[in-house]
Chain A
Amino acid sequence: MTTRQSVGGFALLALLLAPLACIAATGWTGDLTPIGQEDWNAERAAHLLERAGFGGTPEEIAQFAAMTPEAAVRRLVYHKGVANDLPAFDHSGIHDAGLEPFPASRPAATDLARDTGESMGIKVKPAGNRRLQPVANKFFYWLRASRLETNRVAYWWANRMLATNRPLEEKMALFWHGHFATSEEKVRDYRKMLKQNELFRAQGTGNFRDLLIGVAQDPAMLAFLDAGVNVKGAPNENFAREIMEMFSMGVGNYSETDIREAARAFTGWNFVDLDFVVTPEKHDETTKSVLGKQGAFDGVDIIDVILSQPVASEYVSGRLYRYFVRQDLSPALRGELGARLRESNYEIAPLLETIFMSRDFYSPPSMATHIKSPVELVISAYKKMGLTEVPGVPDFNDLTEALGQKLLYPPTVAGWANGKSWITPGLLLARGNFVYDTLFPDINFLPPDRYPLTDYKIGAVNEKLALGMDVTTATKPEAKEVTSMSMQADRDEDFNTRLASFRGWQMALQKVKPIPRATAQLDLSAMVLGAGCKSAREAVDYLLARFVSVPLDAASHERIAKFLESELGTDDLTAAASFLEEPLRTTLHLILSLPEYQLG
């Protein structure tokens, strides 16, 4: 058994390390002709897994290299037939019907309570001090609980990216999340964010028209772009602008008049709780003129008018190309890709198949030149480390946020910028630090979902109340903070906002389940020994081949090999087996701190 495994491992190592000639690839730039079987190899299979997923382990690369390129690409693109038994999101049970519709602001919540005697399912106290306090508490409870739960959704999604048998499904969901960017910051309802995520997963490689309509009628998008105030006689232009500019055509292909007219077509579109609704009396049924066409359009009609513009297919296919291949896209190639998308009636999967099969995709300018986004970097690193679960330490959300990409919180409706903007001096250092924190967990780590101490000095309020201090004293601002609360020096008040903030956190923590806090369960020793490595040099060669897409120069290679040998005190891995893990981890940290590691 051991011998057979070693032989298998060595075969994998040999396969990965064998020099691979890129014959004839130099003429492939811009060529959509499919790659032939004679040009298919492990290096190109690795490239496919890197771009159409989150990278491959040596076993996966070998498996895909053994297929024909057609079979490999179709296995990824037409993934609905691939079994993928992953758990659904495990709700904490934080929501109740009284919360709908959630008030626009705390003043709105308390004003409603004052006016009607009830708000968010909470009745006003008949008598006594702080009669509205339970209402204020509920408001802050939901803000905090929804944020914590959204972080759980992001963590769940990260686990899907890592564990899925359909990597392109998750990669496309990530793409569409950046394309149709909505943020929990404004939506303030994790359920809407989860529902949208599931829409992207279900329809991500389906039909773009269906997806666009789904997004237009999606509660998260409707909430994010202020659909509720888009009514007949007073149209709100947010959604109409974004659907043309960011979602389907790009800048310069419509006029401001088109936007105003289109906004009228989307009037009356709204949501109630998690359901899309059209309010007939708020819908403008009169004639609109959009992109040169006239009619009593509704929102779906507008989508059809937009998609009838050739520029829409070019814009969408260009976005996909830049995401999966490279930034450099000639007008001719963009036109060709757009034409194919139009000819297929906006079916996404055939376009992806074309892209992943194309020689252009395997041309030198396309390979190992993509700067990984933060999420790609983290998930692909975990995958190549052989993890089957996203570690809870370091916290996935804090980590990716520090690197510039917090899932479910895109910075604007334009999503995240790409490529070079991920790399600044500080962010490059942080990328190496993520590896360090994963391989050498921080013993001072505090779970951010259980220690919300950064907000409004809540920790101090917590302690003061626990020691029996009255609310007014316990919530008195420090001298340097001047807020409206300082005007409420007496005990008699309708509510206390700081108290509500504190109670909101307390109630949220009681309800929201914790994110599991396991450290990264990896075993580098077993990995390199299992691959048949005998010497420090072979171990370094293996790690570089496994983790890094860009070949290192000989001098760098030598420095790292010498480092590992020095740490081990020997070049013989067998002799060092009992203490091998830590030197391997420090070596891996060095490797993954290289600038080259950011490329895939």
Chain B
Amino acid sequence: MKTTSLLLKPWTRREILRAGLAGIGASAMPLVFSRVMAADPAASNRILVVLEMSGGNDGLNTLVPYADDAYYRHRPKIGIRLEKLRKIDERYGFNGGMAGFERLYKDGRMAIVHGCGYAQPSFSHFTSMAYWHTGAPNSGEEYGWVGRVADAIDTPSTPNFIVNIDEVQSLAVRARDHVPVVFDDPEKFGRKGLYQTRPLLDRAPDMDADASASKHYLLEVAKSAREASQLVRDAWSGYKTPVDYGIVPVQLPKIASLIAAGMPTRLYYTSYRHNAFDTHVQQSDLHQRLLTYVSDAVEGFMKDMERIGRADDVTVLVFSEFGRRVPENTSLGTDHGTANYMYVIGKPVKGGHYGQPPSLTELDEGDNLVFTTDFRRVYASVIDGWLGCRDTEQLLSGKFESFPVFS
């Protein structure tokens, strides 16, 4: 009931219907809860893809609360007018470049969680991203939240359970018992060497019980590399798709190729890199372009999952390490801020709005949004509701109530 109350509070009846939440009456609620909380053997086939928009994406200019006059008061120059938006309901419209996200939302496949952040927010890319990566704000947690999920749901560890597509391994996927497969270019994911060297080159390394921690780690990774590289190259070379992912596919076709090839991976992590979304100066054109890339890529990915018959098994989580400050700055950009939306996207997702939208008039002393949803609630929602691991309290070092974003 508390959840119901929270969910219902900001919406009129009309908005609930429009948002696709019709059908959840009091009589249906116990059924939903019982399904969510039940042990879920079907979860063993499910895949989570996490897409990070690095740099602190401006949520307010991504999904614009056009019905709130305060938005335009704070952003007289870079605020986006209704006629330039892709309206999704009576309160919100997506940035004009986000045709893909608009379609996903209107098809009921996108859950938008409002006001995501954490207490005592950091405005540093590195620090805040580390908090999101670890799921442990203001702490020195060593492992990533995705890595800890892998350790929790996959014991003993399955090789190639985690794939991170990036130049360098993300802290998010660092695990105690799993070695993530990290690559950027699948075609180059292999070892060069002449024919006569192959027996030694491709030999499985001998483990050494007396090795230093560094050497032990290297041997483990060498073993993993040998197995993973062949799988990845075969998957990519065998992958063909007619789906259009847009101009910047954001690594998603590589993920699609691995899913299509039946890689045992269940946790994929990738990002739009290099703090691309850090738009302090002259934001508008650049931001719209970046959002178009992400939106087109995610929509393309979902179409591709339908094509290969895995749409029922794949969910995408999209986030950034913070939002932007509510008032625009004097350089036609925005400075680092706090709360932001998170998006959970996929056919299994119950689309709609979740969480309490933060107020645009009651800002904190730094002119930032006050978060209304601890971001770990969204992690708990996918860990529990999608990946079937009910013990999120231990995993996330705290009790975070899930949103009912999965049927």
Interface residues of chain A, those whose CB is within 8 Å of chain B, are: 104-105, 107-108, 185, 226, 229, 231, 234, 236-238, 241-242, 245-246, 251-252, 256, 259-260, 365, 368-371, 401-402, 404, 411-414, 416-417, 419-430, 432-433, 436-437, 440, 480-483, 550, 553, 555-556, 559-560, 563, 567, 586, 589-590, 593, 595-596, 598-599
Contacts and interface: CB of A to CB of B under 8 A. Distances in A.
23 contacts: A104-B282, A104-B331, A108-B282, A226-B331, A236-B280, A237-B123, A251-B122, A256-B123, A369-B212, A402-B188, A414-B126, A420-B214, A421-B171, A422-B168, A424-B180, A425-B221, A426-B188, A436-B193, A555-B206, A556-B206, A563-B197, A589-B193, A595-B222
Nearest to A456: B247
Contacts of A560: 200
Contacts of A369: 212-215
B285 A433 contact: no
Nearest to B284: A107
Contact of A425 (B124, B182, B205): B182
Interface in B187-229: 188-194, 196-197, 200-201, 205-206, 208, 212-215, 217-219, 221-222, 224-225, 228-229
Contact of B192 (A108, A433, A480): A433
A429 B124 contact: no
A424 B274 contact: no
Contacts of A599: 212, 214-215, 218
Contact of B125 (A404, A413, A563): A413
B225 A425 contact: yes
Contact of A432 (B122, B191, B196, B218): B191
Contacts of A427: 168, 182
B133 to A, nearest CB: 11
Given A105-B286, A231-B330, A425-B224, 11 more contacts: A236-B280, A238-B280, A259-B123, A412-B125, A425-B183, A426-B188, A427-B182, A428-B225, A480-B244, A560-B200, A589-B197
Given A229-B331, A432-B193, A480-B244, A420 B126 contact: no
Contact of B164 (A229, A424, A586): A424
A421 B170 CA distance: 8
Contact of A429 (B138, B190, B212, B285): B190
Contacts of A589: 193-194, 197
Contacts of A559: 200
A4 to B, nearest CB: 36
B72 to A, nearest CB: 20
A592 B131 CA distance: 37
B126 A421 contact: no
Contacts of A430: 188
Interface string B279-308: 011100110000000000000000000000
B184 interface: yes
A251 B197 contact: no
A383 B168 CA distance: 26
A485 B228 CA distance: 42
Contact of A404 (B167, B201, B218, B280): B167
A256 B366 contact: yes
B402 interface: no
Contacts of B247: 481-483
Contacts of A429: 189-191, 225, 229
A142 B336 CA distance: 29
B131 to A, nearest CB: 10
A531 B73 CA distance: 77
A144 B198 CA distance: 41
Which secondary structure characterizes the binding site on chain B? Answer: loop
B10 to A, nearest CB: 28
Contact of B201 (A108, A423, A593): A593
Given A414-B126, A567-B196, A423 B229 contact: no
Contacts of A432: 191-193, 201
A267 B396 CA distance: 41
Contact of A234 (B212, B273, B286, B330): B330
Nearest to A435: B192
- Which of A368, A416, A429 has the largest number of chain B CB atoms within 10 A? A429
Given A256-B366, A425-B224, A245 B124 contact: yes
Given A229-B281, A553-B208, A426 B168 contact: no
A553 B228 CA distance: 26
Contact of A426 (B127, B171, B189): B189
Contacts of A436: 192-193
A429 B193 CA distance: 11
B200 A590 contact: yes
Given A105-B286, A426-B225, A559-B200, A596 B215 contact: yes
Contacts of B126: 245-246, 412-414
- Which of A107, A422, A423, A553 has the largest number of chain B CB atoms within 10 A? A423
B336 A229 contact: no
A260 to B, nearest CB: 7
A426 B192 contact: no
B356 interface: no
Contacts of B191: 429, 432-433, 593
B64 interface: no
Given A428-B225, A429-B191, A586-B197, A368 B212 contact: yes
A102 B92 CA distance: 37
Interface residues of B, number: 62
A260 B197 contact: no
A470 B127 CA distance: 51
B275 interface: yes
A319 to B, nearest CB: 14
Closest 6 CB pairs of A and B: A424-B182, A425-B225, A426-B183, A595-B218, A414-B126, A436-B192
B125 A105 contact: no
A424 B169 contact: yes
B104 interface: no
Contact of B329 (A236, A433, A553, A555): A236
Given A107-B282, A236-B329, A245-B124, A428 B196 contact: no
A229 B218 contact: no
B179 interface: yes
Interface in B75-90: none
A596 B206 CA distance: 12
A296 to B, nearest CB: 23
Contacts of B221: 423-425, 428, 595
A369 B211 CA distance: 10
Interface in B125-149: 125-127, 138
A435 to B, nearest CB: 9
B197 A105 contact: no
A344 to B, nearest CB: 29
B102 interface: no
B244 A426 contact: no
A322 B264 CA distance: 37
Nearest to B138: A252
B181 interface: yes
A411 B168 contact: yes
A591 B229 CA distance: 20
A430 B219 CA distance: 15
Contacts of A401: 167
B384 interface: no
Given A229-B329, A433-B192, A237 B200 contact: no
A599 B281 CA distance: 42
A417 B335 CA distance: 25
A104 B188 CA distance: 36
A233 to B, nearest CB: 9
B216 to A, nearest CB: 10
B330 to A, nearest CB: 5
- Which of B191, B208, B330 has the largest number of chain A CB atoms within 10 A? B191
Contacts of A482: 247
Contacts of B222: 428, 595
B165 to A, nearest CB: 10
A259 B122 CA distance: 11
Contacts of B184: 426
